[in-house]
Amino acid sequence: MADQQTEAGAIGGDRNAAPESCGMPQVGRSLGLRGAVNARDLGGYRTTDGRVLRAGTALRSDGLNHVTVDDLISLRALGLRRVVDFRSLDEVREAGPDRLPGLPAAEFARDLPAGAEVTLEPATADGVTLHHLPVFARDFDIYVTLRDALADRSPETQHALLGDGRAAAMMTGLYRWFVTDPVARERFATVLRLLAAPDGPPLLFHCSAGKDRTGWAAALLLTALGVDRETVLADYLLTNERSAPVVGRVMDDFGTRGLMREPELLLPVFRAEPGYLAAAFGEVEAGWSDFGAFWRDGLGLDDDVLAGLRANLLDGSGSRP
């Protein structure tokens, strides 16, 4: 019970939380996956017109390549219809494919480009359809930058790559790119279309850490549904709480193994920061008159998609207090 109170406070407080039967608000509910600690339900958020995001319909996560046998049982219990993986195919090949109920682990041909879209149908009727919608920028490829920094092991090279604000600047540039790049916009729009389709939810979307690509997709979804910006930001920042133990272990490991003399250089990459999300929304405001214009002209989405999202994901008829 105390954990629920802590989580509600981290997500903007009780004012935005949908009350559960026990009387306690439940937002940012962890899916309890040992192999994906940042996996959580977007259900429970309240829109500005008083409707509530339905639990178990839209879920966000870090990578599902390390889920355990018990995690697979939990995933099956969610009744997922679709999973969207934002990782590049190079990331998938190196870190491993998603492990999902009713879907054999995929091996992607080496001649497929890293940005190729791939859809894999389940092997069983109750399995999950997997959509690979890679979102990666060669100019802001965090995955490659980290790999290069760790491979070199030179403190001077690592500092040159990540130090003196370079890592944070790279992250800010990435979030701006989410908005300015037409391919990235289309990939995010595809997730929203899938969530709006009659046979879309329950749907889980993820990247590697469940922070950047996943964070922006969640921010787009919540904003479109009418959740206030403060709560959108709080949901984004919840990643820091959920991922803190993993980040701490990784930082300690890099230091003790001699991979980095200054593992703290990685913190701007590992953490969700308000300025990153603000940079993405800033690009929306710079390029379009309002979010509605961005929805239509930037994402290429229409009122039918918005109506589908509301029908699929929201409870209640909506009434302002």
Q: What is the CA radius of gyration of the chain?
A: 19
pLDDT at position 190 is: 98
For the chain, what are the domain ranges?
Answer: 2-314
DSSP codes joined into one string, 158-208:
HHHHHTTTHHHHHHHHHHHHHHH-HHHHHHHHHHHHHHHSTT--SEEEE-S
CB 39 within 8 A of CB 62: yes
The helix or strand, by DSSP H or E, that contains position 238, with its residue range, turns out to be helix 229-256
pLDDT of residue 262: 87
Predicted pLDDT at 317:
63
List the chain residues with pLDDT less than 50.
1-15, 17-25, 320-321
In the sheet that holds 129-132, the strands lie side by side as 40-41, 58-61, 203-206, 82-85, 129-132, 118-120
DSSP classification of residue 45: B
- The class level of CATH for 2-314 reads alpha beta
Say if residue 179 is exposed, middle or buried (CB neighbours under 10 Å; 0-12, 13-18, 19+). buried
Task: Using alpha carbons, list the distances in angstroms from residue 262 to 68, 146, 168, 169.
Answer: 32, 13, 15, 18
How far is the C-alpha of 231 from the C-alpha of 283, rounded, in Å? 20
pTM of the model: 0.88
- Residue 107 has a pLDDT of 75
DSSP letter at 106 equals P
Report which residue type is found at 16.
Answer: N
Report the pLDDT value the prediction gives residue 318, as an integer from 0 to 100.
58
